[in-house]
Amino acid sequence: MSTKLEQLKQMTDVVADTGDIEAIKLYKPQDATTNPSLLLKAAQLPQYKNLLDQCIVAAKKEGGSSDQQLKYASDHLAVAIGCEILKVVPGRISTEVDARLSFDTNASIDKAHHLIDLYQQNGIDKSRVLIKLASTWEGIRAAEKLEKEGINCNLTLLFGFNQAAACADAGVFLISPFVGRILDWYKASTGQDYTAETDPGVLSVRHIYNYYKQHDFKTVVMGASFRNTGEIEALAGCDRLTISPQLLKELDEDSGTLERKLSADNTGDAIAKLNDTESSFRFGMNDDAMATEKLAEGIRNFAKDQVKLEDQLKELANA
């Protein structure tokens, strides 16, 4: 009998949530995603030591202040690791814009252009890259403009329905609703335990998926940030799921039967269309304590890891 991972691949595009090339080779996902936290981990791997050195040299050639060169070096590193990943996945790599730009539309667009330029200098067409942006109002507006330029985007740190509806309205290519972090918030808030079927993160993604299919939005739903395989199994049939190596391993070692849970042919009760303005979006987020708190926390933590990565590059540059 086939494993649950093999069964999942028959109904959902599986994406690896890692910068570890060896794990990607092992589990053969369609795509891969990275973020500042994953890049920081990847930068510790011995096989990337030469890449770090090369990125520092390349950043110095771009000029600018020492602080600007560190930002360039981290861009070069993100793209260098992305290029390595693209050698082993048939699909796309998601590369994230600096979280410190999450509330600056124009700066996010400029950073996206720089990342795409670096990929193209390495022979990678923009069709194989997704630019990751935080699902703030400003991030969604940046994605809307980039999509019109033919640069596809992955809107991350997505926790609330307002964020998902606004992304669809903006014509975003893909969203990454964070399942596990939603569960974390509710467990801390209520003190309750949840099954896969009552998991608030799972229910959130199912609601978004059904909404998109009912209203014929083409935006891809890619569940992310899983705490256990039960959450993944409860979303079998979702457009895509991005999964850590550890959970990929658990699915690959399980030969039980996997039941499809999501289908465009069965989306449940009708969900009214939401058309947000900036003010109604912001009020909707303000009214959702979980989404507001987890978005802010996610941006802070990604920004901290970005700074740690730049500090590591600074040490190498000064060595």
121-151 per-position pLDDT tens digit: 999 999 999 999 999 999 999 999 999 999 9
132 is catalytic: yes
165-213 per-position pLDDT tens digit: 999 999 999 999 999 999 999 999 999 999 999 999 999 999 999 999 9
Long-range contacts of 287-291 (CB under 8 A, 24+ apart): 288/159, 288/160, 288/161, 288/162, 290/159, 290/160, 290/182, 290/185, 290/186, 290/189, 290/200, 291/159, 291/160, 291/162, 291/163
Q: What is the pTM of this model?
A: 0.95
Active-site annotation holder among 4, 111, 126, 132: 132
Cβ-contact 36, 306 below 8 angstroms = yes
pLDDT at site 51: 84
1-41 per-position pLDDT tens digit: 799 999 999 999 999 998 888 899 999 999 999 888 888 88
31-70 per-position pLDDT tens digit: 999 888 888 888 887 877 888 889 999 999 998 898 999 9
